[in-house]
Amino acid sequence: MHRRALHRAFINVLGMPPIAFLRRKRLGDVHTALLMAAPVATIKQIALEHGFAELGRFAGEYRRLFGELPSHTLRRARSSLTNWLLGCVWLAGFC
């Protein structure tokens, strides 16, 4: 398949060129990684692992796509984990 035909096919089917699709996919992967991050993981580390070298631009694109900053996603995920763990402790009778 020719490059231009692939480009047109992406736009016809997904409404965006291949490069935009890949960027959005990587942002989605970062979003998932932030929601499942280890307690010691950092946003910088996760962003770099997914190919985002310009962290300011990354944060802006992330916010446009998900409606919140990466730090808010990470904080929300950690808060949910903490609440879940506290619930497990309470249910197990350790309170």
- Measure the CA angle with vertex 77, ends 95 and 52; round to 5°: 155
Distance CA 29, CA 12 (A): 24
Q: Does domain 23-91 match CATH 3.40.50.300?
A: no
| Burial of 27 per CB tally in 10 Å (0-12, 13-18, 19+) | buried
Q: Retrieve residue 82's tokens.
A: 């903490």
The predicted pLDDT at position 80 comes to: 75
pTM: 0.79
pLDDT digits (tens, 9 = 90+) for 50-66: 999 999 999 999 999 99
As a residue count, the chain comes to 95
Give the position of tokens 């010691």. Answer: 40
pLDDT digits (tens, 9 = 90+) for 7-49: 999 999 999 999 999 999 999 999 999 999 888 899 999 999 9
